Amino acid sequence: MNVLLLGSGGREHALAWKIAASPLLTRLWCAPGNAGIAREAECVALDIADHAAVIDFCKRNAVDLVVVGPETPLAAGIVDDLASAGIRAFGPSQQAAQLEASKGFTKALCSEFGIPTGAYGRFTNAADALAYVRTKGAPIVVKADGLAAGKGVVVAKTLREAEEAIAKMFDGAFGAAGAEVVIEEFLAGREISFFALSDGDTAIPLASAQDHKRAFDHDQGPNTGGMGAYSPTPLVTGEIHAEIMAKIIVPTVHGMKARGTPFRGVLYAGVMLTPDGPKLFEYNVRFGDPECQVLMLRMMSDIVPALLACCDGQLKNFDLRWFDEPALTVVMAAKGYPGDYAKGTRIEGLDEAAKVEGVEIFHAGTIAKDGNILANGGRVLNICATGKTVTEAQRRAYQAVDRIQWPEGFCRRDIGWQAVERERGL
Ligand code: AMP
């Protein structure tokens, strides 16, 4: 099979690594890719926002399957355009990608199909939104409806913060993404990520994971795209797993089908484990980054047949096997991230780091130049490790981190702390 992967982050490096291991593979390309992906795939300088150019590449190279990594091309309808050209693609249609591209859409689906989520209101003007938060009080969550690169959510501790967020969003801080605002009940509890594949009809769970959103140790500092992750999370017991499937994932897949917009691809549910049971607070319609990196390390089965089964409606009799060993990833980012940061700084010691037992390094924002690896983004590397326990995986990952010489980079030193404390019996 000839496969084209779209994207350029750590998620795509992990996917490329896993797809490259498939015995079904003939050729793998990645557009645009990065310096690490170039080890697994042929990187091509295609503009993935230019759907006609992607289709043309697929036709010229007899691509059998396109795998879409990030959400932007999904929301822009790339899977629909590829399908119209007769090209199979893993990922939801533009209509189904609304689950991520519109928070109001997802809340309405939850109401229609009885999926547990926080109480909410949808607003297209500041006056009504302000009146609503004043009746509800704080804490409360203010969300831009559309895609805002992970920045469109404000968890307001005070009424004043909520009012400011509303004013900012209707002032155009997020452009069209903030033309509608969703205001949601604050859900107290532990947060987990839950992943499932869907072929439009059947859903099969992947594994659970936990990410670390804040920039600094002890969950301090600004929110980021994710500074590390591990899988599985001990918070998702067998019982909670079954409850999330039965009350959230399955009704979503059935609801989308009943509406005539079946969801095919990977559903990534942000779930709060509240005293009243698991509640959905958001959907993403692609693999999480960095959660994907740990899921790929734990997946024993060949991923390519699973991706094909999603596209072809064949998940019903499908089974995925997983390694029991936990996996953990530490993100190394350029100093200053998630704010301003420098590009072009040199990274050394990667080969030595990769020699640590159980370690796999996935690249995110890197570029190769004159035989050197240079930082080329905010999140730059994923130092991943497996181990018999999360504690062992964590130790191995940081041992590898310590072999990397990159003075302009930083990472958190406490990834996996919840699981490590649990393993210590704390
Ligand atoms: P998002 O950008 O949608 O991933 O949201 C960012 C973060 O806001 C999430 O990771 C949650 O920690 C938090 N969040 C979102 N919705 C709620 C909610 N209803 N209650 C509490 N926290 C929330």
pLDDT by 10s per residue, the chain, length 426: 999 999 999 999 999 999 999 999 999 999 999 999 999 999 999 999 999 999 999 999 999 999 999 999 999 999 999 999 999 999 999 999 999 999 999 999 999 999 999 999 999 999 999 999 999 999 999 999 888 877 788 999 999 999 999 999 898 888 788 788 999 999 999 999 999 999 999 999 998 899 999 999 999 998 899 999 999 998 999 999 999 999 999 999 999 999 999 999 999 999 999 999 999 999 999 999 999 999 999 999 999 999 999 999 999 989 999 999 999 999 999 999 999 999 999 999 999 999 999 999 999 999 999 999 999 999 999 999 999 999 999 999 999 999 999 999 999 999 999 999 999 987
Query: For residue 143, which atom of ligand 1 is closest to its CA?
Result: 3
Does the beta carbon of 214 sit less than 6 angstroms from any atom of ligand 1?
Answer: no
Identity of residue 172: G
Residue 171 confidence (pLDDT): 86
User: What is the CA(117)–ligand 1 centre distance, in A?
Assistant: 12
Element (H, E) at 160: helix 159-170
User: What is the CA(364)–ligand 1 centre distance, in A?
Assistant: 24
Does the beta carbon of 153 sit less than 6 angstroms from any atom of ligand 1?
Answer: yes
Query: For residue 188, which atom of ligand 1 is closest to its CA?
Result: 21
Distance CA 149, CA 162 (A): 20
Query: For residue 191, which atom of ligand 1 is closest to its CA?
Result: 12
Torsion-angle region of residue 175: left (phi > 0), alpha (psi -120 to 50) or beta? left
Distances (CA, A) of 414 to 179, 228, 332, 405, 408: 38, 9, 13, 19, 19
Cβ 133 vs Cβ 163: under 8 Å = yes
Distance CA 18, CA 27 (A): 13
User: What is the CA(150)–ligand 1 centre distance, in A?
Assistant: 10
Does the beta carbon of 148 sit less than 6 angstroms from any atom of ligand 1?
Answer: no
Mutate to test the pocket of ligand 1, among 282, 283, 285, 289 (most ligand atoms within 8 A of CB): 282
For residue 206, report the phi and psi dihedrals to the nearest 5 degrees.
Answer: -95, -135
Return the number of other C-beta atoms located less than 10 Å from residue 328's C-beta.
Answer: 33
Return the number of other C-beta atoms located less than 10 Å from residue 296's C-beta.
Answer: 24
CA dihedral 89, 93, 97, 101 (to 10 degrees): 110
User: What is the CA(141)–ligand 1 centre distance, in A?
Assistant: 8
Torsion-angle region of residue 355: left (phi > 0), alpha (psi -120 to 50) or beta? alpha
Crossing angle for the helix pair 303-312 and 10-20, nearest 10 degrees?
A: 100
Instruction: Say if strands 214-216 and 220-223 run parallel, antiparallel, or are unpaired.
Output: antiparallel
Cβ 408 vs Cβ 347: under 8 Å = no
Distance CA 354, CA 358 (A): 9
Residue 87 confidence (pLDDT): 98
User: What is the CA(153)–ligand 1 centre distance, in A?
Assistant: 7
Does the beta carbon of 184 sit less than 6 angstroms from any atom of ligand 1?
Answer: yes
Cβ 248 vs Cβ 269: under 8 Å = yes
Mutate to test the pocket of ligand 1, among 71, 110, 155 (most ligand atoms within 8 A of CB): 155
Return the number of other C-beta atoms located less than 10 Å from residue 406's C-beta.
Answer: 21
Query: For residue 213, which atom of ligand 1 is closest to its CA?
Result: 10
Return the number of other C-beta atoms located less than 10 Å from residue 372's C-beta.
Answer: 12
Sheet with strand 346-347: strands edge to edge: 346-347, 372-375, 366-369
Residue 212 confidence (pLDDT): 95
Nearest CA to ligand 1 atom 13: 155
User: What is the CA(35)–ligand 1 centre distance, in A?
Assistant: 32
Nearest CA to ligand 1 atom 5: 153
Looking at the DSSP bridge assignments, the partners of residue 318 are none
Cβ 48 vs Cβ 6: under 8 Å = yes
Query: For residue 281, which atom of ligand 1 is closest to its CA?
Result: 16
Does the beta carbon of 270 sit less than 6 angstroms from any atom of ligand 1?
Answer: yes
Tokens of 61: 């190279």
What number of residues does the chain have? 426
Looking at the DSSP bridge assignments, the partners of residue 29 are 4, 42
Candidates 251, 233, 227; CA nearest to 194 is: 233
Residue 113 confidence (pLDDT): 98
Distance CA 357, CA 388 (A): 12
154's CB contacts (< 8 A; 6+ apart) are: 141, 142, 143, 161, 162, 165
User: What is the CA(280)–ligand 1 centre distance, in A?
Assistant: 10
Identity of residue 210: Q
User: What is the CA(54)–ligand 1 centre distance, in A?
Assistant: 34
Helices then strands, counting H and E runs in the chain, come out as 15, 23
Distance CA 260, CA 171 (A): 35
Identity of residue 54: V
Residue 330 confidence (pLDDT): 98
Cβ 77 vs Cβ 94: under 8 Å = yes
Does the beta carbon of 362 sit less than 6 angstroms from any atom of ligand 1?
Answer: no
CA dihedral 71, 72, 77, 78 (to 10 degrees): -90
Beta strands in 72-130 (DSSP E): 89-90, 120-123
What is the value of pTM for the model shown? 0.95
Does the beta carbon of 283 sit less than 6 angstroms from any atom of ligand 1?
Answer: no
Cβ 262 vs Cβ 237: under 8 Å = no
Distance CA 214, CA 10 (A): 18
Nearest CA to ligand 1 atom 12: 191
